[in-house]
Amino acid sequence: MIQKSTLIDWITIYAQEISTNKEQLTALDAAIGDADHGINMDRGFTEVMQRMPSLREQDIGSFFKGVGMTLLSKVGGASGPLYGTLFLRMGMASGGKEELSLTELAAQLSAGVDGIRQRGSARPGDKTMIDALAPAIAALQEAADAGQETCQALEAAAAAAEAGMKATIPMQASKGRASYLGPRSIGHQDPGATSAWLLIKAAAQAACSAQ
Ligand SMILES: Nc1ncnc2c1ncn2[C@@H]1O[C@H](COP(=O)(O)OP(=O)(O)O)[C@@H](O)[C@H]1O
Ligand SMILES: [Mg+2]
């Protein structure tokens, strides 16, 4: 089972990763957007960490909902509402639990990614965070169905997210700001797919150090 403390570690590690990679995410967005993705994400997760003392006292559902609401209220741009929706939907799918099975975590992430797809109407191949998240969820579900340990399953999901992120380089963007560039968006890695890979990698790190 995945304990609530591991999920708290996940978000804490991710907040650190975002802060460490803030400039890189912003540089990626400078190439095909408006140079604020790292700034947006860091603003949101700095606020999440400020609220962590009260968030961590809540059950898993309320914890994720609190993370989502914080991102929705603090982060501008496309990524705030989209990542906000991911965590809000995860929270709605988790109820009042204090621990999750790997299958439950995979189902929640899947519900969260469905929320992003509904809100942003991006499909795989549009050069967005979906290109990292969708293969990660598929790999996670496959690993969960195969009865793998949480650490290995999330490492497989992180590898799939990384491959999906790299696959955005040759894509032409058809959603978000990068789509305004048309064919000039080709040849650049999508910033949101990069922050999405960091998210799944942080989950693997939290789970693997908890075992
Ligand atoms: N409709 C969408 N669906 C999914 N992801 C999207 C969508 N539009 C943009 N994104 C993601 O958001 C990222 C940009 O985030 P950010 O720079 O923070 O917001 P903005 O584009 O408003 O400046 C993109 O790299 C892309 O991955
Ligand atoms: Mg931007």
Give all domains of the chain, ordered by start, each with its CATH number.
Answer: 2-210 (1.25.40.340)
From 65, 56, 71, 68, select the one nearest 4 (Cα to Cα): 56
DSSP H/E element including 130: helix 130-145
Q: Quote the pLDDT of residue 95.
A: 85
User: Average pLDDT per run of 10 along the chain, which is 211 residues long?
Assistant: 97 98 98 97 98 98 98 93 98 93 97 97 98 98 96 98 98 97 97 98 97 79
Q: Quote the pLDDT of residue 128.
A: 98
Q: Quote the pLDDT of residue 211.
A: 79
From 144, 122, 143, select the one nearest 133 (Cα to Cα): 122
Residue from 32, 37, 113 to probe ligand 1 pocket by mutation (most atoms less than 8 Å from CB): 37
Tell me how far CA of residue 133 lies from CA of 28, 53, 54, 86, 141, in angstroms: 18, 28, 28, 11, 12
The residues lining ligand 1, judged by C-beta closer than 6 Å to any ligand atom, are 29, 33-34, 36-37, 40, 77-79, 82, 116, 120, 122, 128-130, 175-177, 190-193
Q: Quote the pLDDT of residue 77.
A: 87
Task: Tally Cβ neighbours within 10 Å of residue 60.
Answer: 25
Q: Quote the pLDDT of residue 209.
A: 96
Q: Quote the pLDDT of residue 152.
A: 98
